[in-house]
Structure 1
Amino acid sequence: MTADSHAQNLELELQGSNASETSTLDSLMVHPRFQDFSSLQTEIDSTLIKLQKTGYIESELLKLNKKNDSAFIAYFNLGKKYDNLYIYYSNNDISKDLLKKISTNVTDDFFAIPISKSENALKFLNSELANDGLPFVTFKIENISKRNDSELQGNLVINTTAKRKVNSIIVKGYEGFPRSFLKHYLNIRKDQSFNLNEIKSKTKILNSLPFAKQIKDPEVLFTKDSTSLYLYLEKSKSNTFDGFLGFGNNESTNKLEFDGYLNLKLNNNLNYGESFNLLYKSDENEQRTFDVNANLPYLFNSPLGVNLNLNIFRKDSTFTIVNQTAKLFYQLNRTIKISGGIELTSSENLLNQEQQSSQVQDYDASFFTASFEYLDRTSDFLFPIQSYFLVESGLGKRNYNNFDQDQTTIKFRTNKIFNLNNRNSIYINVNGDIIFSDSFLFNELRRFGGINSIRGFEENSLYASLYSVLNTEYRYSINQSIYVHSIIDGAYYEDDINEIKEKLFGFGFGLGLMTKAGLFKLNYANGLVEDQPFKFSNSKIHISLNAYF
């Protein structure tokens, strides 16, 4: 056979004891031609293993004959085929509930499986026990014997060590990563049962955090008495500086006017997962907004967190509003949190005596608030939020001229991206605000309109005691850094002071471009009031650059 070991294109033919056995053998052989005798011999050995796995455990190679210089015939005897394997086990080694996942015939003493599926069944059991803290578990079936003419039986032997738990968590690369996020956001803790697949699944969620990402799969170091988990992370640039320049025609003067804002967001600079936002906005309606917000999650390594907000708004020389909120929230898991807090509002009438109006008054208001929030992040840099839902209710009083008025407020917002395929998606956003009250003041009405509300209208130019806005976009991603989208917005609002009920619409298009400096956005939108003619002069162009540092 030495000379034949160097031959090329050898052929192998398989023969059984009868036509039925030969047909079975033909169905098992994938390649009848081989480069050398060694690979041909390997195929014969592989065929024997396949036969045993399908139930022909008594199969044997009778002989291998050389037909000619380039062809061989292997003669097999398949013997009796056995269909099922009855495996006896101990309840102390494995649970009956786990066995029911691989067998429909499970008793307190044994379980039955088809012989053809026995290998995959044992692999599944091995994986399940490994994920339950037994990474070094091994299985084997001993004392295999005939149960009857078509079935076999044997004993399941499981060799295990003590259950493994995560004894230590070591972070490499970004050693300052906030440990509270490991415990509460990822739900990876010391002394929990070791499950590498589950840990890998959890650490992938890290990439959805704005301030960190995983640079390498987690690794495990096993010693005799401990299990150490190594995570490889990198701190990401998550601070942003955002601004936009908008311009359009003033309907009264027919002159071009400008508006804009600056938005600074600082994330995780202290390595606690905290965030600090500062917003200053000035627009064409002589409106000024100053807003500062601090969010402190997982205080003292607990699920509790605090959110603090200060908002100051000035409407030309008409009024100012100072709004302060403080919330204590509980993070149920990485996506859901509930909160309760207090909201204090104070407004001052700036009109002089000649301009005084009964609709604008000094007032103070206080509310107790409760909210539910759901946030699902993704690792997509262009579209980091897959879905969001918020509902908040407030109960309180508004006081002016020593008169208390009971009020209830409801705020809601939800948005979601529906991915049609890798390039096409649909974005839908719905938000609104309602005040329930027997009387209203102009300076307590809700303000909306603009790039972050219904597009095509001036910033905060609309006042309402009730409003709801629908934003929709069809998005097409040209590549991973450029996308274009449509703008189709609709809104309904009510102003109980002036007895106004109107429907609004916004139409346009936009694009987003990820540059080295950050995310550049350009939107063109035209605002339209129901039953009023379309005017190009109502169009707004919004330009913004969200720079990361």
Structure 2
Amino acid sequence: MSMNEQCIDYCGIFHTMIKSRLSNFLWSCIVVLFIANCSYAQRYTLKIHTPEQAILSKLSYNTTFQDSLSVYKTLNLLIAELYKQSYLTASFDTVFFVERQAHALLSIGKKYAIIHLQKGNIEDFVIEKAGLRKDFLHNQNIDFQYFISLQEKILTYWENHGYPFAQVKLDSIRLIDNQIFANIDCEKGTYIRFDTLLIEGEGKVKGDFLRNYLKIKQNEPFSQQKVKEAERLLKALPYLKLKKPLEVVFEYDRAFILITLDKIKSSQFDGIVGVLPNQEQKNRVLVTGQVNLNLANLFSTGKKLHLEWQRLRSASQLFNFEYEHPQFLKMNFDINAKLNLLKEDTSFLNIRRNIQFSYQLTPQQKVSFFTDYQTTSVTDGSTNQAAVGQESQRFIRFANTNLLSYGISYELNTLNDFLKPQKGWYIKGQVGTGNKKISPRLGSNPAVDTIFRNIDLNSTQWTLSLSMQKFFYTGKNTSLMLKTVGGAILNNQLFMNELYRLGGLNSIRGFNQNAFYASHYLVNTAEARLYFEETSYLFAFLDYAYLSYQIPTQSFQDAPLGVGAGISFATKGGVFNFAYAMGVSQFQQFAVNQAKVHFGYVSRF
């Protein structure tokens, strides 16, 4: 029950008017509870008798119950609803049981309107915060439902500004015919400030970090809205789980927030390393493999560290580094630093450095500003140096470039659960722009030199990206996920080593990792999930993509399709993922012998 509901006392407003009927109703409730003791395990049905059936028929209520106490609760809710509709003398005159059927005699009475409502002691600025003019509450004709709405707005303002026990009520009530003359007054009660956060449970997190993250500072005025937002923020953390709803403990003029947390195993490690004979250099070995390390909630302060290394071919390597520091210098923004290195056989080397500052607008929304510096270097073994004659027109695909860009991104997350999302949205959009410089190595081939002299070596480049996921609740243990991911690089002088890389487990399943190049792409995914444990599920999917690119001497477009099924199985030590997928594209037939098996085991700790 919210604090607003605790502060609204319809019976108190009209105590003198309905005292006798309420007394009769309470005696009936005692009878109900006595019968409940005698026939606890039986199911009950409810039948309401009233001469005003037309009014009753517009109300929604249950008619079958597990016990007689539930009958009583339903009758109470019906009276509250009638009060909201201005039937202020409504009451159940008699409640009795015949075997397992409850009979209730309802008297609805007249419908009253509130007129000549005076402002009383409520301040003008509070009236304005409720969305009304200062002079609104001067002999105004409003119905009771509007009074309830006004009451809610005033109480909401005060409970978010240090007065959680404020009461808004009618005073000096005069009942004439079907009209009520009254003043609207407010009793704010004790001024309450936030005190400390009381953190319990196995989830470990430092109080300073949590206070900054939840934006609940000691000695600030109490705010019920901040308490509600704190629950949503805590549920968004991947390494902690809220064991039970937040509890607010009031002591004198202080409010203590009791937070009970469980730890979630969200740090990850997986990897495999192989040692093979080096076929290119005799008497030497070749180290291959893949290592992926994610450390979450470092030092119990919410920091994150990600390291990834991959070497599946002798001349190709991938290295990723990412560090996230939340609440940097105890300010309300996070800082994120990334380094990405990609060496593609003997063709090129890409290095990308990125730094990003993020600010949490609301528990569901985040905005970020970033700067990005990318360099691409052509290695000596690239086809640029080997190209001769007409072949140079066809195979000039790589170039030395550097790009310094700036941009902004926006993120929205309304997923109901981090580990087991079954409804909600996840949306992230990003736009960036910067100056690109091409640095060709001229003089080695006249044909190559001619091509570079005919293009703009300094230009403006834009990058756009969008990711959208929507989860649909389809049953207690089932969900449907629809996802669209797209990106575009907008520049007239693009080369292969600048393009997006797609294909594999995290983009288009049914194809080799990084099988496709693209300057424009759109990947649509439909995935149905069947959960058989909290975080373990079977899934079937379809990935459909459109991608294209155009470089000075070559263009390409394709629409690959991948379908398949798999399982994600959580164990005490980690998560096992297995997916069987078949794909079709211009370069791959839809055949069993072309199917791909994506599998892996991620250790969590």
- 1:206 Cα shift? 0.8
Q: 1:199 aligns with which of 220, 223, 227?
A: 227
Report the counterpart of residue 311 of structure 2 in structure 1. 282
Q: Give the counterpart letter for 2:457 in structure 1.
A: Q
Q: What secondary structure is seen at the aligned counterpart in 1 of 2:191?
A: coil
Q: 1:432 aligns with which of 475, 478, 487?
A: 487
Q: What secondary structure is seen at the aligned counterpart in 2 of 1:166?
A: strand
Report the counterpart of residue 451 of structure 1 in structure 2. 505
Report the counterpart of residue 562 of structure 2 in structure 1. 507
Q: Give the counterpart letter for 1:196 in structure 2.
A: Q
**Alignment check: 8 A CA contact 1:511 1:522 kept:** yes
Report the counterpart of residue 381 of structure 1 in structure 2. 419
Q: How does 1:127-138 map to 2 (within 5 A)?
A: 129-138=158-167
Distance 1:284 1:132, change over 3 A: same
Matches of 1:505 and 1:285, distance apart in 2:
28
Matches of 2:225 and 2:579, distance apart in 1:
44
- 1:123 Cα shift? 7.4
**Alignment check: 8 A CA contact 1:341 1:369 kept:** yes
Q: 1:406 aligns with which of 452, 458, 463?
A: 458
- 1:211 Cα shift? 1.7
**Alignment check: 8 A CA contact 2:481 2:527 kept:** yes
Q: How does 1:310-459 map to 2 (within 5 A)?
A: 310-316=339-345, 318-333=346-361, 334=363, 335-351=365-381, 356-357=386-387, 359=396, 363-376=400-413, 378=415, 379-383=417-421, 386-393=425-432, 394-401=434-441, 405-407=457-459, 408-422=461-475, 423-434=478-489, 436-438=491-493, 440=495, 442-459=496-513
Q: Structure 2: give runs of 5+ residues left out of the alignment.
A: 1-29, 36-49, 64-74, 95-106, 274-287, 443-451
**Alignment check: 8 A CA contact 1:313 1:321 kept:** yes
**Alignment check: 8 A CA contact 1:502 1:530 kept:** no
Q: What secondary structure is seen at the aligned counterpart in 2 of 1:300?
A: helix
Q: 1:159 aligns with which of 187, 190, 210?
A: 187
**Alignment check: 8 A CA contact 1:337 1:372 kept:** yes
Q: What secondary structure is seen at the aligned counterpart in 2 of 1:268?
A: strand
- 1:175 Cα shift? 5.9
**Alignment check: 8 A CA contact 1:342 1:367 kept:** yes
Report the counterpart of residue 228 of structure 1 in structure 2. 256
**Alignment check: 8 A CA contact 1:132 1:195 kept:** yes
Report the counterpart of residue 39 of structure 1 in structure 2. none
Report the counterpart of residue 72 of structure 1 in structure 2. none
Q: 2:574 aligns with which of 500, 518, 539?
A: 518
TM-superposition CA deviations, 1:238-285 (whole Å, max 9, x none): 21124699xxxxxxxxxxxxx974321111112332211111223469
Report the counterpart of residue 237 of structure 1 in structure 2. 265
**Alignment check: 8 A CA contact 1:82 1:152 kept:** no
**Alignment check: 8 A CA contact 2:337 2:355 kept:** yes
Distance 1:350 1:308, change over 3 A: farther
Q: What secondary structure is seen at the aligned counterpart in 1 of 2:430?
A: strand
Report the counterpart of residue 209 of structure 1 in structure 2. 237
Which of 1 and 2 has higher RCO (CA within 8 Å, sep 6+)? 1
Q: What secondary structure is seen at the aligned counterpart in 2 of 1:134?
A: coil
Q: What secondary structure is seen at the aligned counterpart in 1 of 2:233?
A: helix
- 1:344 Cα shift? 3.6
Larger radius of gyration: 1
Q: Give the counterpart letter for 1:368 in structure 2.
A: S
Q: Give the counterpart letter for 2:400 in structure 1.
A: Y
**Alignment check: 8 A CA contact 2:121 2:185 kept:** no
Give the TM-score normalised by structure 2: 0.66
TM-superposition CA deviations, 1:95-115 (whole Å, max 9, x none): 4457789xx9x8433555556
**Alignment check: 8 A CA contact 2:405 2:435 kept:** yes
Q: Give the counterpart letter for 2:517 in structure 1.
A: Y
Matches of 1:495 and 1:152, distance apart in 2:
76
Matches of 2:483 and 2:382, distance apart in 1:
44
Distance 1:99 1:495, change over 3 A: closer
**Alignment check: 8 A CA contact 2:296 2:303 kept:** yes
C-alpha RMSD of matched pairs (Å): 4.6
TM-superposition CA deviations, 1:456-489 (whole Å, max 9, x none): 222223334x230313123132434213122232
TM-superposition CA deviations, 1:290-317 (whole Å, max 9, x none): 211222232112233332222222223x
Matches of 1:541 and 1:310, distance apart in 2:
29
**Alignment check: 8 A CA contact 2:502 2:516 kept:** yes
Matches of 1:113 and 1:100, distance apart in 2:
15
Distance 1:421 1:99, change over 3 A: same
Give yes or no for the alignment of 1:269 onto 2:269. no
- 1:24 Cα shift? 6.6
Distance 1:530 1:180, change over 3 A: same
Number of aligned residues: 483
Percent identity between the aligned chains? 20
Q: What secondary structure is seen at the aligned counterpart in 2 of 1:388?
A: strand
Q: Give the counterpart letter for 2:413 in structure 1.
A: D
Report the counterpart of residue 103 of structure 2 in structure 1. none
Give yes or no for the alignment of 1:218 onto 2:246. yes
Report the counterpart of residue 40 of structure 1 in structure 2. none
Q: What secondary structure is seen at the aligned counterpart in 1 of 2:439?
A: strand
Q: 1:301 aligns with which of 321, 327, 330?
A: 330
Matches of 1:128 and 1:352, distance apart in 2:
67
Matches of 1:108 and 1:377, distance apart in 2:
39
Q: Give the counterpart letter for 1:398 in structure 2.
A: I
Matches of 1:115 and 1:344, distance apart in 2:
64
**Alignment check: 8 A CA contact 2:323 2:337 kept:** yes
TM-superposition CA deviations, 1:146-180 (whole Å, max 9, x none): 44x33232444533334323244343345633634
Q: Give the counterpart letter for 2:240 in structure 1.
A: A
Report the counterpart of residue 477 of structure 1 in structure 2. 530
Q: What secondary structure is seen at the aligned counterpart in 2 of 1:381?
A: coil
Report the counterpart of residue 36 of structure 1 in structure 2. none
Q: What secondary structure is seen at the aligned counterpart in 2 of 1:421?
A: strand
Report the counterpart of residue 488 of structure 1 in structure 2. 543
Matches of 2:505 and 2:155, distance apart in 1:
56
- 1:374 Cα shift? 1.0
